Amino acid sequence: MDEHELDADALAQFREWLRAAESIEPQPHVMTLATADAEGQPSARQVLLRGVDERGFVFFTNRASRKAAELAGNPRAALVFHWFELGRQVRVEGIVEQVDEPESEAYWQTRPRGSQIAAWASRQSQRLHSRAELDGLYEEVEARFDDGDVPLPPFWGGYRVVPETVELWQHRENRLRDRIRYRRHGRRWRRERLAP
């Protein structure tokens, strides 16, 4: 991989790699999201990328979840995309901001009804006594909304990771991988090659 042949804009280059992943990878939008609480205790989980543009990387979740609580106390995160079939990985680090309600509402309307009901039913990251409790909560919400529209919950919405660094990693033999890191400087990006 020649860094001089890559797009000068990190997000444009990411979108090019994502398009390639979408053509071959079974789950190209899965990303690991790493957060840390105010004391620095880290946690990671996989979430789905639901949008990427010049502003950053968007995912949606319950705003009372563990990840949301961690982001409230420490609004920084890291993302990792691993596309095994392509032999590529992308790492992202940046500041996290909440997506505004109209954008959250627009995405909410694309979700399957069952997922909308589940979002209302699940007190994400809270302790349950049994699976039956969760199933009961789902049935209660399903009955409450009957056949009508399921509105956007006030406790659910999007987050955007505004990247400060984006690192592209590509497999090569003998562990001599290619690693190109973009760092944001104002509105521009600077590229540098890293040792594997």
Q: Which residues form the catalytic set?
A: 175
Residue 113's φ and ψ, nearest 5 degrees, are -55, -45
Please report how many Cα atoms fall inside a 13 Å half-sphere around the Cα of residue 87, on the Cβ side: 10
Strands (E), 11-155: 30-36, 42-48, 51-53, 56-62, 76-83, 88-98
Closest Cα to residue 66, out of 99, 101, 107, 36?
36
Q: Which residue has the tokens 């919405």?
A: 157
